[in-house]
Amino acid sequence: MIYLKSESEIDLMRESAQLVSRTLAEVAKYIEPGVKTKKLDEVAEGFIAKNDATPAFKGYGPPNNPFPATLCISVNEQVVHGFPGDYQLKDGDIVSIDCGVEKNGYFGDHAYTFVVGEADEKTMRLLRVTLESLYAGIEQAVHGNKIGDISNAVQTHCEQAGFGVVRDLVGHGIGKSMHEDPSVPNFGRKNKGKRLRKGMTLAVEPMITLGGWRIKTLEDGWTVVTSDNSLAAHYEHDIVVREGEAEILSTFDYIEQITQKEIDTH
């Protein structure tokens, strides 16, 4: 069931989304060669607690294998759901950091792919095109369109650039639960799927690879990697469907103020 949000609910969701944005920026201060990924997780958990919110990912999932951390930290060929740990970041790595919080009964959930030090042009092009595809999809998230319009915009932009579009993982609705209806695939046909209505709140999240679209899950039951070990990028925003133009509740501005590495999408 799709749950349309009131303006007061959207205000609360914006607050949660902006806290995720600020948390990712706080984490960005520590991203450099030699840093262990578990350090980034500790920074995020502390920052969220100071802001009277709860990590949305920690403890999420099946009782016999809940997610163990505040952040999903996925390096290089890892697509999503990577565990923070003793891995030390290296120059040239790319690291997708996905963060979720619950505050005042509403969730925020979005992601950014960081470059550690300097990366080659092929890698930077992957990040650039993935980020472009996020905004291409969001442009289609307007009242009267359909889910397939978002999906097709992402797929077309990335496949025309020669990249793989992950099919087994999708975006989603968000609100009082971290995952709500509808699903938002990154591939599909125009004018197909559920119709978009103003007040729908979605997490749009392209997951794009330098190689093929196939993925596999590691033995930990969470970490998803590319089947061909190609690099993967992942960006995510929380949005509200509006008439004329979607509203983006989250922002990457805080991150880019810290990294001073705005990805050129022009």
* pLDDT tens digit sequence for 169-220: 999 999 999 999 999 999 999 999 999 999 999 999 999 999 999 999 999 9
Report the pLDDT value the prediction gives residue 266, as an integer from 0 to 100: 33
**DSSP characters for the chain?**
---PPPHHHHHHHHHHHHHHHHHHHHHHTT-STT-BHHHHHHHHHHHHHHTT-EESSTT-S-TTS---SSEEEEETTEEE-PPPSSPBP-TT-EEEEEEEEEETTEEEEEEEEEE-S---HHHHHHHHHHHHHHHHHHHT-BTT-BHHHHHHHHHHHHHHTT-EE--S--EEE-SSSSSEEEEE-SS--TT-SSBP-TT-EEEE--EEESS-S-EEE-TTSS-EEETT---EEE-BEEEE-BSSSPEE-S-SHHHHHHH-------
Average pLDDT over residues 74-87: 98
Asked whether residue 258 carries a pLDDT value surpassing 60, the answer given is yes
Report the pLDDT value the prediction gives residue 259, as an integer from 0 to 100: 87
Q: Model's pTM, two decimal places?
A: 0.96
Asked whether residue 262 carries a pLDDT value surpassing 90, the answer given is no
